[in-house]
Amino acid sequence: MSTASVSGTADELRRPKYAYKSVQIAKTIPQIHQALFDYQAKCRNVGEIIVDPSGKRIVIKDTSQQLARGSVWLLIDITADAGGAQLKSYLVKPEFWTSFVDETIGAINNPNACYVRQGQA
């Protein structure tokens, strides 16, 4: 997993027209980070995971479609709040990325179960 700052075209995705799903997660940021690490070790990569140095935020970007340098097609923001964390997702093309977001939510909630994305066998 990498640690870096968030910038560039990722910020352009954080607009209402790209918003897909927002859910509350009853886990802390460190618990979510561990769940994603465990899922990646057992199942598969869920994208580039960026942990804010403050420990209050995780950003996940898809890294499988690097068609243009710096392009971001999917972005998941997870931010600490009083109830645990708030997950917000943004998609350029929802028809391609909804199952990725759903898998990521499943990985956070149950990192021991490997999920099959829509369209995969």
Residues 71-76: contacts with CB under 8 Å, at least 24 apart: 71/9, 72/8, 72/9, 72/10, 72/12, 72/13, 73/97, 74/47, 74/100, 74/101, 75/10, 75/13, 75/14, 75/18, 76/47, 76/101, 76/104
**What is the model's pLDDT at position 14?**
87
Quickly tell me which residue has 């243009």 as its tokens.
68
Res 5: pLDDT? 35
- Say what angle helices 94-109 and 29-42 make with each other, to 10 degrees: 110
Domain ranges of the chain: 9-109
Q: pLDDT digit string (tens) for 50-59?
A: 999 998 999 9
| Per-residue pLDDT, 2 | 39
Q: Which pLDDT band holds residue 7 (cuts at 50, 70, 90)?
A: very low
Please state, for a pLDDT cut of 90, what percent of the chain lies above it.
53
Higher pLDDT pick, 40 / 47: 40
Sign of CA dihedral 84, 47, 41, 1: negative
Q: Does domain 9-109 have CATH number 3.30.310?
A: yes
pLDDT greater than 60 at residue 30:
yes
Does the pLDDT of residue 3 top 50, yes or no?
Answer: no
